[in-house]
Amino acid sequence: MKEKMFKALPEVSEKASYRFVSAEEAGVKRVKKAAKKLGHKCNPEDVVAILDTSIFRTCKEGFVLTTQTLSGSFFKEVIRHTELISAECSEDNELVLQYKDGREEKIWGNIYANYLVEVLKKVISVTNGI
C-alpha cells in the first residue's frame, strides 16, 4: 500500500523547490526524525513520504504522509485521509476537507495548499480504491 500511495503522489513543477520524497529515499534516520517532529509522533514504519521544507533539511518544518494521515509543522492536528471523501483549495489558500461523516473542515494551508490538495486527492483515490 505504501508504494502504491507514493507512486500516486503528483509531481511538482521543476521550478518548485519542494516535493515529497519516499521514506525509502529519505532513509531511516530522517524518517524517524520526521515522524517525531512533523508526524505528531507517528510510527516511523507507517511513513510513506516526507516533504521537508526546512532550510537545512532538518525536518523542523514540513509534512509527513503516512498510511493513515497527513501531518506537519503547520497543522495543529493530523488529517486522517482515510476518513476523507474530498479535498479542495479555497481562494484564501485553505485546505477544505470533506469527511465521510459529513463534516467539513478548513485548515490553513499556506503556500503549499494547492500541492497538498493534489496530494490528498491522489491519496484519497488510492485509499478508497478509486
pLDDT tens readout for residues 87-97? 999 999 999 99
Q: Which domain holds residue 68?
A: 2-11+18-127
Per-10-residue mean pLDDT, the chain, length 130: 87 72 95 94 95 90 95 92 96 94 91 92 88
Look up residue 10 and give its three cell numbers: 503528483
* Amino acid identity for residue 88 in this structure: E
CATH number, domain of 65, equals: 2.30.29
* Amino acid identity for residue 112 in this structure: Y
Residue 90 · residue 96 · CB < 8 Å: yes
Provide the CA 57 distance to its chain's centre, in angstroms: 16
pTM: 0.91
Burial (Cβ within 10 Å: 0-12, 13-18, ≥19) of residue 111: exposed
Query: How many domains in the chain?
Result: 1
